[in-house]
Structure 1
Amino acid sequence: MTTAAGPTAPALGPRVVIADDQELVRTGFRLILTARGIDVVGVAADGVEAVSEVKRLRPDVVLLDIRMPRMDGLEAARRILAEAPECRVIMLTTFDLDQYVYAALAAGASGFLLKDVTPEYLANAVRLVNTGDALLAPSITRRLVERCASASAARGEGAAPAPHPDLDALTPREREVLTLMGHGLSNSELARELTLSEATVKTHVARIFAKLTLRDRAQAVVLAYETGLVTPGSQP
């Protein structure tokens, strides 16, 4: 297709909706992603608009601010993933807000981004999540979840870990792999720790996801904490 300005290149990346109550953030992220071949199909200024836009546009990935008027990002994430479970949600946050991130991951978000992220990291993160992987490096996810879990326990908010009904479906090796994922080990680190090939590790991880109905690695880390396979401060 051509226009008066010349040929129009097709979008190369996933379809994205950006939801943030700050116009500068929406505009800046849109320019960054568009310049890198990622198709920003819509923007929203609050959680209610975000849910509506996702329902209307069916994007692949949603960038969702945690704090927004009318409906916060956490509730918006729950509603988006209930309506469009195939959609991937990335939460936008700052270190000051990371007490919300554990709940966001448990609700099905695939990870989080700080708002001062570099342009290249932003684009790469969107592409990574679109492939079905978790956004964060496993060790970063683990440290964040551990910090939030420790804070909740200190405030007396934590309940005793409850066994997941499907954990018994895991083989001893799969349970070992899940525990090490909870500690933040990547696939290559798992392979070295267990003296396995990376291909074998990937097979174990895929089976764990299928048996426990997990979307990605971020949810696996959350589950490892919730079931007591991993506890704050423990080492692999």
Structure 2
Amino acid sequence: MNVIVLDDHRMVAQSIAALLSELGGLSVLGVCSGVNDACALIKRQPPDLLVLDVDLGGDDYRDAVHLLHRLAPEAHVLFVTALGAKFQPPAELRAFTIGVVDKTQAWEQLLSSLQLWRAQHGAPAINLTIDQLQRIQALAPREQRLMKALGHGLLNKEIARSLNLKEATVKTYRKHVATSLGVSGSQLVRLATLYRCWCLDQQNRAGTKGNIQLP
């Protein structure tokens, strides 16, 4: 399953793309900040899913949606918007819309909508959940730092150097964290990548939108 993310806030778009790729198992064809770029991607390879914001700084999101449905009538749309419940998809798009996600509560709602869409297409369920992200925040500070470093794709020896630890200590921390979260080694890396993006998104929201509650 392929997806294109369209949001004029680049950092938010990249966080959403990481979530869809690392957790949702989707292939991200591109992350776009404008409708023209999204339309160019859609023409080259229409995605199965278009995830987009409604407010695109003057661009009309419907241009991208209508192009997608001309080229791929079976494709779906997922809206991620700060308008929350105030936004209702136009009547002609409702049959193709799998959800409207409130940006202030984005990850939990996004995962729920994605889970339902995957189930309808017979795809495997998402194994990692938002609960595991929240459980990371209960880990010791040094273990949280490990998760962020792991989320950057660093190897054990690189993590050890960046955190001023021995490589054997890093290996021990990784095993302990994986056991605490109930995940395998490979799942821990995926979860760490998502956690890094989640933290980045929290910082971005706090800096640009004031005091916003996140799940």
TM-score bracket for this pair, using the shorter chain length: 0.3 to 0.5
Taking structure 1 as the reference length, what is the TM-score of the superposition? 0.43
Taking structure 2 as the reference length, what is the TM-score of the superposition? 0.47
